[in-house]
Structure 1
Amino acid sequence: MRGRLALPLLALLTALTVWSASQGQGTGARQPLPQTQRADPAPLPAAYRALLPLGAKVYSANCAVCHGAYGDGRGPLARNQAVPPRSFTDAAWMAEHGDGGFFVSVERGVPGSSMPPFAGRLTEREMWAAVAYIRTFAPGTPASAPRDLPGGTSREVQGKTLYAQQCAGCHGTDGRGNGPSAAFFKRPPRDLTNRAWMSSRTDAQLTAILRHGVAGSPMPAFGDALTATQLSDLVAYLRQLSRSAAQPVATSALYVQACAACHGMQGNGQGPNAPQLSPRPRDFTDWRWQGGISDAELTQVLRQGRPGTAMPPFRALLSDAEIRAMVAQVRAFGQARVPRPTSPIGGSP
């Protein structure tokens, strides 16, 4: 994307792009489709459909010169760029990338490419309109469900191996306290998929249990057997166990469209874009976080974004009613607020 809405040269280049595309280069050339005729088996959410007329104007004046009139990355300036402009017709790529990330790319630019920042040049509404229009180049992707990251983070993968070696005999391979040794205990080993119990313990508390064991129970101390890094990896995997045991939460079309690529289909912060982001996307299944943020604070974050992160502002895209629905969606991933424990952290292993 380059330029401003009213630059005569850019308007001329865009007009030439559309004209040359309409003339065709052989019998296989596509003819431009009016917006109302675009195939769309999975309709855009209402918030996006309302922005399409504006989005067409913004895209034509600012984006087509590089990304092409058809969004295929073949605009008149594309050949002069070391990094080719993105093709928005790549349905597989589009389905794995959320519109929140697109907005941030438009707002801040893309380092290492010719994509400039448009903050201060386009309004938030115009940037969201461009994002909405870009989606029409890959019909059907708005309702695609991005795949959450397989296997978890590298820490969780390492922790899974340690868990199988050190813990599964008592707590079971799925963490439910049903390992082969469980029958020999007066009380069953701790069910590590109990999200209320897991969420009420901090990582430091879980690490202390692993390092020192639990007095009066069969839970051994691993302080001499595992390094600090291994203990940290094991705690990360224990967190994954409790998340994995949660019942899937239904996700709205708007959440899938704007949030799932970063926050994951189940709100666990494990969307396909997550590894590229620093800080990582919020894990909405973390009950400790859920209990520490109010609906008013959630609403403010959704409306204004969060500086220093990839979280974009949605105030120019979503109505107050839609933002309330998104708050409810985030709450559904946590399912309940769990109070901090007042009893000791000991008990069965």
Structure 2
Amino acid sequence: MPIDDVQRSRQTQQVTLVAMATNLTLTVFQLIVGLFSNAFSLVADAMHTLSDLLTDGLVLLAARKGADPADANHPYGHDRIETVVSMFLGLVLVVVGCGFLWSAGVRIQGADALPPLHPVALWMALATLAAKEALFRYTLAASRRLDSRMLEANAWHARTDAASSLVVAIGIGGGLLGYRFVEPLAAALVGFMILRMGVMLAAAAIRELVDTAVSEEVVNKIRDTIAATPGARGVHDLRTRRMAHRILCDAHVLVDPRISVSEGHAIAEAVRLRVCRQHANVQDVLVHIDAEDDLDVPVIPVGPMPDRQTLAGWLPGLLGDDTPAPKRMLVHHLGGRVELELFFPLDWLSADGRVAQLNARLKAHLPTHPEIRAVRLHGLVAH
């Protein structure tokens, strides 16, 4: 069942508050235990956890601002705030990963200089590892339930914290056993993993910011939904883009070229409602009604296309000065030319010889206006 914006924002904030409380608690205990046990790697991990509080704060801010309704300056809403925060979190992971790689190189060179450690540091590192892994699974499940890339980025940030705690635990364990080289090697491996995840998350956010289309599978499903709408004869130039968890679409829909404007609008509205109802992530569909498929075979007009006023001015010359102005005139622009439908009172048009006379005049004068392909005459019954 789709989740509305208010509920989605509230649940995102709840998940983020749980993460902030967890990180604050871990930071305090890591600092105390790390200083007591001479485990400087645990102190450094505490500083890493403290930085998570800052990113959690950004996620909380984005969750609140992203749920704000559209306004004059943000007519499409504020959902892209989530995307920007996701990109920032990805860049943070890149920096953290590079930091681990750099730190690993330094530790390899000075592995013998590590200070003696107290066993309580190992238990603290393992407890931190368990807490971070639990936080990762909790946040990742919420991100999939809420379809939030921002929460997904924060979840993987928690996983990198768990990885860093694993490095600390391995390093402390190796130090307690006398194998000083274990920690820097593990740190290098985890640093590469963090760097890769950060690049992937930042790249996904950037693709969204530059309006990359959704997957071909989703596009084809939307195309099938449009094509199944009554009145739609075809669809082309279907374009999609993401805005956080939402999808925005533009589509050109082919309809009968001689239906009324109001019927064409009704078909467009039917397409929009049908797509939004059958695809929960689609926020809106901008439908452009086409009278003909002008993409497959480009149409070159015979000349400048006349507007309605110009065409009305040509009618006396085509039909004769004694012909009254039509009660109604429909203009169809098709195939680079114009087709006219003229409506006259039925009693006037059905007079003896009237149709034949008008037909003769049209045959004589239409060649002087190559822009006009055909003229159709209709009798209008008075109400």
More helix by percentage: 2
Q: TM-score, normalization: structure 1?
A: 0.24
Q: TM-score, normalization: structure 2?
A: 0.23
More strand by percentage: 2
For the pair shown, which has the larger CA radius of gyration, 1 or 2?
A: 2
Structure with greater contact order relative to length (CA < 8 Å, sep ≥ 6): 1
